[in-house]
Amino acid sequence: MIALIGLIFFAGCIMSEYREKAEKLITYLGGRDNIESAFNCMTRLRIKVRSEEPVDETGLKAATDVMELVHDRENAYEIVVGPGKCRKYADAFHDAGIGSAVSNEAGFHREWKNQRKSSRIKSALKTVGDIFVPLIPGIVTAGLCAGFAALIAQLVPDYADKDFWNLLYQFLTLIQTAFMTYITAWAGYRAAERFGGTPIIGGMLGMITSLDGINSIAEILGLANSETPLSSILHSGKGGVLAVIFGVLIMSYVEKWIRARMPESVDMIFTPFLTLILCVIPYVLIIMPLFGFVSSGIAWAFGEICMSESIFVRVLVGYVSAFLFLPLVASGMHHGLIALYTVQLEELGYVTLYPAFAMAGAGQVGAALALRKKAKRAGNSELCSVINGALPAGLLGVGEPLIYGVTLPLGKPFITAGLGAGFGGAFVMAMEVASTTWGPSGLLGIFVMTGGPGGALKSVIFYVIGLIISYVCSYLITYFTIHESDLKSGGAVSAQIPDRNSRRNVKHGDTLSVRRGSTVTSPVNGKVYPMEDIPDEVFAAGVLGPCIGVMPEKGIFYAPCDGTVSSVADTGHAVTFTTKDGRSIMLHIGIDTVKLNGRGLDVRVKEGDTITKDRIIMKADLKLIRNEGYSPMAIIVQLEESE
């Protein structure tokens, strides 16, 4: 322990070279008051200034570590310092009291785009959504398994005496328990990614929340209640995901503070160790009990409202919930609801809010059917075609094609769909329908609406009736509100990213020359683009090092070399490798795909993995990337060594 204290003291006394260098950059940028925000990606420090007049571009270009200065937007600068240094510079700017240091490029683009449009509340809710969205497949799988298990228990009361049904029930329960037991670990991992901390340390803090050792600590400190364990001040799982998110947020700040003072030679060893040691005690003894009371209070409040003894209260809440859900989606405010779902699921074992919200999608279907009939009479075959293509997805609970392709652009149908959906929401809330998860809605939602006090079968039947009510009411309101004259014209817009000049075709594994005497292998089948044709100023100029581009035919990417994975971007758009002969090779997927914040990019490797050229490292949804307006070009860079 003395050695650890000595190490902390020693690290704290070291003058951070990055802080000194950052101070020089701040001066060249016109001083602190002229810098509005500072962020980093894998290769660049991105700065927004209030005025370009005091910026000394010559000084910036000549500064230590600066490889290139890009100025392609008003009041915006990209200072290229290379991989491994961007984050330290961003932290140094943040320590100097400048803007918000976000440890990934997607955070920069989100902030840049939304800082004038979004309130702090909306930003906070979006952060919650970013944490939970990647967990939805697991949440849905666990919920479906819980739903089917509940149906077995109700439809086959003596299942325990029948080997087949008992075995099936046990497997379903096993899958559901596997996720729900460690949902705090997954939430901690994602929260650390989002807040710029080390993901595995965030996951460990989250997993600690659910371990039985917490109960032992509670007994030692007299914080346990042996008669009613769940009423203990501290017990395993106390505070749930809310405690984890807040705890990881604090831990991320602690980690950045330690890293800024830690010698680079021991950073990877001692920074995560000291971070967890310093944070775990206040997390367990303060944050978990505090958020335990918060979670219990939230669950109690919504239980009293959504399952009130007054049917009038339940009807009113159900109608308002279904009516307002899609406006919340359109404004991005719906992300915060995920935290409420999770709290209810942890505290009650089911979710009462989600069934009412699910009616909103059914309202879109009913409105779309009415619009289709009106559009057909008005001769608008294009709108009919759009609706025909979007309806199957809408029936299965995927509402985005109908929302953004039909009702929202037309305006009034978006409102009439919500008005009709409200009646379905009122019904399911009055009947106390509850779900075992969230995610599936529409017809697919039938299999998860198996919670609540009325039993699984009753809940499912009332959910189906609620869908029908929403379909019918939305159809009628829309049909009698929208006139054929409103639908005389329609259209659809699609974004295409055409390939530039065609080059030679290569296959995965073919040799590519990035510089004389230095080769890599193509990570994908496609057309080769020389460095000067890559549509990004930094790459085309070879600032980071010699590089080559390949326009992929398919979305499966292999390693461009043998070696080890040295880093993976938080947003998944770039992976860096160290070859056996000591070279640093970066594979960068797409131009500006970092703005997708990981959507469409499924990374299959992690830092420290040993890989070969036959190893699949990523799968990318090329259609999604192109539809979002980005080029999916793969760029292979041999990174130049910098002192």
Q: List active site positions.
A: 41
Cβ atoms of 343 and 404 closer than 8 Å: no
Q: Token pair for residue 333?
A: 């405010």
Judged on CB neighbours under 10 Å (0-12, 13-18, 19+), 464 is middle
Cβ atoms of 271 and 262 closer than 8 Å: yes
Which long-range contacts does 20-26 make (Cβ < 8 Å, 24+ apart)?
Answer: 21/63, 21/64, 21/65, 21/89, 21/92, 22/89, 22/92, 22/93, 22/96, 23/96, 24/59, 24/63, 24/64, 25/60, 25/63, 25/66, 25/79, 25/89, 26/93, 26/96, 26/98
Sign for the CA dihedral angle at 48, 50, 51, 55 comes to negative
Quote the crossing angle between the two packed helices 353-378 and 311-331, to the nearest 10°.
60
Q: Token pair for residue 134?
A: 């990647």
Cβ atoms of 625 and 542 closer than 8 Å: no
Cβ atoms of 411 and 365 closer than 8 Å: no
Tell me, what amino acid is at 53? Answer: E
Distance CA 557, CA 521 (A): 11
- Tell me phi and psi for residue 118, to 5 degrees: -100, 140
Which segments within 517-583 are labelled E, that is strand?
518-521, 526-529, 547-552, 556-558, 563-568, 574-579
Q: Token pair for residue 212?
A: 């039985």
Write the DSSP symbol of residue 572. S
Distance CA 137, CA 186 (A): 12
Strand partners, 638: 585
Distance CA 107, CA 115 (A): 11
Write the DSSP symbol of residue 50. S
Tell me, what amino acid is at 117? Answer: K
- SS3 state at 116: coil
Please state, as a whole number, how many other Cβ atoms lie within 10 Å of the Cβ of residue 221: 12
Which long-range contacts does 277-282 make (Cβ < 8 Å, 24+ apart)?
Answer: 277/4, 278/254, 279/205, 279/247, 279/250, 279/251, 279/254, 280/205, 280/208
* CB proximity list for 445: less than 8 A, separation 6 or greater: 355, 358, 397, 435, 463
Q: Token pair for residue 184?
A: 């705090």
Distance CA 460, CA 151 (A): 10
